[in-house]
Structure formats: C-alpha cells, structure tokens
Amino acid sequence: MLLEDFNAVGRAEAAAALRPCLDIERWIEEIVQGRPFGSAASLLEAANRAAEPFTGQEVEAALAHHPRIGERAAGNSTEARLSQSEQAGLGTPDPAVAAAIAEGNRSYEEKFGQVFLIRAAGRSREEILAALNTRLAHTPEQEQTIIGQQLREIAVLRLEGLIGT
C-alpha cells in the first residue's frame, strides 16, 4: 500500500492494514488518528511514539499472536505470513541450535509464563539463542521492557514493509 493510499482510505481500512503489524488497538488508533503523514519516515516515527510504552495487558494480548521462535506460525493470515517470512530468513537450522532454542523456549515460558519474543529479522539462529540465554537471567520487570522494545521493532519493520513510498 502506498503512503498516499494509507492516508486516503477510511479509518476501518487503515486500521485493518495496520493490524498485522501489531494487533494493539491503542497503537493502531494513534497511527490512524495521526494521518495524513507527509512521509514514510514521519509515519514510522509516529508508530514508534505510539508504542512507547506498551502496558502489560497490551503486551499479553500481542504475544497471543506470536508463535514460538523457531516454530512456524499457523494459518494463512497476513500476520502469519509475515511471521513465517521473518523466521524463514533465519535459514536452515542446525539441529543442535534448533534443539537448544526449543529447550530455551520451554525454560523461558516456565519462568515468565509467556512466549519468548524477539525480532527475528536480521538475526541468525545463533544470535537468537544467545539472546534467549541472556534473557533467561532477567527479572520479569527487565523482560517486560525488552518485550515492549521487541514488539515495537517488529511492528515498525512490518509497517515499513507495508507502506511504499
């Protein structure tokens, strides 16, 4: 979708376009209300601002849509296709690394009660595993800050891919 089209469509259509980037209603509404944007950069800046900070409830709702890292997102929705594409960029997994990530996912979920979330785009499986191991030592409060940052990065990258200039 071109930026000009995003600026011109109705509220419902603009919101529907944003939802696969990040399904947090407040974030979507702030961006939709901020239209029209003069440039893609100003749109991305607004998306970053709207994501600062996410509440615990917003994070919980958003995490419900994210598969475990290393696992394929189910379905054929736009959000699932975006997730599949992001994780496909990780390449073919080394069996030992894949097993370590799966075990790390289990440990993370046991400790924090939610899926491990990280922006996969631009990272290798080894980098993700290292981050997972580091984050397992965090407190829940430290993790909430990092998860919010990761959600923001994922949303902005997806939005950047959505809007052409």
Distance CA 83, CA 22 (A): 11
Distance CA 103, CA 72 (A): 16
Tokens encoding 78: 């736009």
Q: At a CB cut-off of 8 Å and minimum separation 6, what does 63 contact?
A: 114, 115, 117, 147
User: How far from 51 is each of 10, 19, 148, CA to CA, in Å?
Assistant: 22, 14, 8
Task: Please confirm whether the linkage preceding 53 is cis (ω < 30° from 0).
Answer: yes
State the pLDDT at residue 61.
87
Q: Model pTM?
A: 0.83
Distance CA 113, CA 140 (A): 10
State the pLDDT at residue 78.
58
State the pLDDT at residue 74.
56
Q: At a CB cut-off of 8 Å and minimum separation 6, what does 3 contact?
A: 37, 39, 40, 43, 163, 164, 165
State the pLDDT at residue 93.
75
Return the amino acid letter for 142.
Q
State the pLDDT at residue 72.
60
Tell me the mean pLDDT per 10 residues along the chain, length 165.
96 96 95 97 96 89 80 57 56 86 96 94 93 97 94 94 79
